[in-house]
Amino acid sequence: MAGIKHIKTRPMARLLLLVLLAAALTAGSASADKVDIDSFTSSSIKTYSYRIVNSYPHDPNAFTQGLEYDDGLLYEGTGGYGQSSLRRVDIQTGRVVDIVHLEDEFFAEGIAIWKDRIIQLTWRSYQGFVWDKENLTRTGSFSYRREGWGITSDASRLIMSDGSDALYFLDPNDYSLQGSIRVTADGEPVKGLNELEYINGMIYANLWPSTWIAIISPDTGEVTGRIDLSGIMDEGDIPKRWVDVLNGIAYDPSEDRLFVTGKLWPSLFEIELVEDTKEE
């Protein structure tokens, strides 16, 4: 697929994009489960802060819904009706190397790489798409019975979120539901599970709409750690709009690099986790 130039959106077009995204998400917020931050942060779970190792340019018009690292490149799924895409991105420059756009009726959500395929969810169309990883051509689709939010995979399963406190396990061959677990912290449900990444045997989940990431056992659903990313984006750089939340986790296993970004953020960050050793 030929490379595509990174086209900047004019200020008025960007404003219109933000208004449309805000309207779409406001309409859906009544049914979505938000994380209970007070409950989550008061639990006895191990807490991590972060150290920024590197920062890289990120398309500020990308409403990031899914993020994956593979073979030196980032794969990113972006959302919004009429704005949804799947793209390959150069990490160092933020340049969009390849891009395909979804039909206007789809609001794209999370992505996961499974062997030579990319799996991409949609929000309220109850439909997922299968893409060839090499050339970004659509090769199939499948359906599910809940909203699509985040998706990742372990060695044998796809793992999906729907914005609640549940994680669902899918067969990667026929996308059938194989089971589910409820996510808890000190016995309390953790809602708002959004973008997912499987890292060293654990599930990392953005908690919507917050600056927290939960580290979850896929066996029990118990949260074993939490990452506080508040302050990672300088207040002067990120637009002060609630739609611009932290969303996007990618991991490079060969170099042990962890990347995070957010919806419409101008930066992608490589971070190192720092365990909080403060006395309670």
| 280 residues of the chain, pLDDT tens digit each | 333 233 334 444 554 555 455 545 544 443 457 888 877 888 789 999 999 999 999 999 999 999 999 999 999 999 999 999 999 999 999 999 999 999 999 999 999 999 999 999 999 999 999 999 999 999 999 999 999 999 999 999 999 999 999 999 999 999 999 999 999 999 999 999 999 999 999 999 999 999 999 999 999 999 999 999 999 987 445 555 544 789 999 999 999 999 999 999 999 999 999 999 864 4
Structure tokens at 142: 């499948």
What is the SS3 string spanning the chain?
Answer: CCCCCCCCCCHHHHHHHHHHHHHHHHHHHCCCCCCCHHHHHHCCCEEEEEEEEEEEECCCCCCEEEEEEECCEEEEEECCCCCCEEEEEECCCCCEEEEEECCCCCCEEEEEEECCEEEEEECCCCEEEEEECCCCCEEEEEECCCCCCCEEECCCCEEEECCCCEEEEECCCCCCEEEEEECEECCEECCCEEEEEEECCEEEEEECCCCEEEEECCCCCEEEEEEECCCCCCCCCCCCCCCCCEEEEEEECCCCEEEEEECCCCEEEEEEEEECCCCC
Question: Which single residue is written with the structure tokens 């909080």?
Answer: 276
- Would you kindly state where each structural domain of the chain is located, as residue ranges? 11-275
Q: Shortest CA distance to 174 belongs to which of 138, 128, 106, 136?
A: 128
* pLDDT at 265 (0 to 100): 93
Round to whole Å and give the CA distance between 182 and 23. Answer: 30
Output the CA angle 10-54-86, nearest 5 degrees.
50
**Do 220 and 181 form a contact (C-beta atoms < 8 A)?**
yes
Domain at 11-275: CATH code: 2.120.10.30
